[in-house]
Structure 1
Amino acid sequence: MSISVNFLPDDVTVEAEVGEPLLEVASRAGVAIPTGCLMGSCHACEVELDDGRSICSCISSIPLGRSHLTVTLFSDPTW
């Protein structure tokens, strides 16, 4: 099952499969999400979903039960 994923602020949309790692989806869309530890501890890859939740994209995947997902990237000049 695929869903449409929109990355903001670049306004880039790509189709993704449920369960696909979010970092892989972003990379395929040409969207760079900064990473640090790749284990969810440093929060360098933190993004905000359209439901207001903040998640670490390095340990997150495309959720089930959605037809569209909007992901907003944060800008942290220290990373």
Structure 2
Amino acid sequence: MINDNDVIETLEELEAFLRLIEIGGLGLANVEGVALATNNANGRPFIAVLDDKQQLLLGRWVSADVYENGKDMVRYGTKKLH
């Protein structure tokens, strides 16, 4: 379930998306993690929101820059504002 019109182009957009996931802002149930991945058919990078069985709940395409430079943000989470 990836919308072709929804592309995360910047690290700021990635951070906002991850925060929405962290606070439950998208209304998804049973979220267990996120991962950066590539589509097997065309190699296009995306961020996957996964459930406890590692099944895709939601995906958003990401730019090549976000895919390369957003790995730590996806792996370790967003910076918390104090």
**TM class, shorter-chain normalised?**
under 0.3
Q: Which has the higher helix share?
A: 2
Q: TM-score, normalised by structure 2?
A: 0.26
- TM normalised by structure 1 equals 0.27
